[in-house]
């Protein structure tokens, strides 16, 4: 989800029974109202967040925002948080990660593409209107490209039955050298 979609989320958009999050107002028409299934990790995080929210505010009313407003500490569930910058900066430092929060969207879309999810599935999850926009977000990694190219091989891969021994200089294959231009 985009940051704006997250900030504007209300508890009415979270269905724990079906394990689905419904996106509210989005940047695109294709994004508004899309449903995103919760994997186990997201379900666990959302359950913990709902417990924290209930302890903090007494209950999770459908009209309450998931991320309530408050300067130093959330204190008004009827108003959305203005932004995630401070929370993201603190979390990023603790996790020793260097990226923008929006980079996580690119990573998620890339991982979906590499997992073999169809373009239409990725577009539905991301709220993209066009394949071109999806491709802009998808950065297929070299390992995924290598596996795809290896699948074209006419020779089936043979798994060694015994551990392979280190190659000596005499038995090591000779690889072509490429000189930088």
What are the domain boundaries of the chain?
A: 1-68+77-82, 84-148
CA distances from 160 to 65, 151, 163, 164, 165 (A): 56, 18, 7, 7, 11
**Whether pLDDT at 4 is above 50:** yes
122 and 131 in contact (C-beta within 8 Å)?
no
pLDDT at 148: 78
pLDDT band at 60 (very low <50, low <70, confident <90, very high): very high
Six-digit token string for 118? 């169809």
Q: How many beta carbons lie within 10 A of that of residue 128, not counting itself?
A: 21
**Whether pLDDT at 92 is above 60:** yes
Model pTM greater than 0.85? Answer: no
pLDDT at 170: 47
Q: Which residues in 18-51 are b (16+ Cβ under 10 Å) and which e?
A: eeebbbbebeeebbeebebebeeeeeeebeeeee
């Amino acid at each position: 989800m985009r940051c704006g979609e997250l900030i504007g989320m209300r508890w009415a958009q979270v269905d724990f029974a079906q394990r689905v999050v419904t996106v509210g107002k989005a940047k695109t028409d294709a994004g508004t109202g899309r449903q995103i299934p919760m994997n186990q990790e997201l379900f666990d995080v959302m359950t913990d967040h709902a417990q924290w929210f209930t302890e903090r505010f007494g209950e999770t009313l459908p009209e309450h925002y998931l991320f309530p407003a408050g300067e130093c500490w959330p204190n008004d569930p009827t108003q959305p948080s203005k932004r995630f910058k401070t929370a993201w900066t603190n979390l990023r430092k603790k996790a020793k990660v260097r990226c923008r929060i929006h980079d996580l969207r690119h990573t998620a879309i890339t991982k979906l593409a590499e997992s073999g999810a169809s373009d239409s599935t990725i577009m539905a999850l991301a709220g993209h209107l066009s394949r071109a926009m999806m491709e802009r977000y998808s950065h297929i990694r070299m390992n995924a490209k290598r596996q795809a190219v290896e699948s074209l091989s006419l020779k089936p891969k043979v798994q060694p039955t015994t551990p392979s021994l280190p190659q000596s200089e005499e038995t090591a294959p000779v690889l072509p050298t490429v000189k930088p231009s």
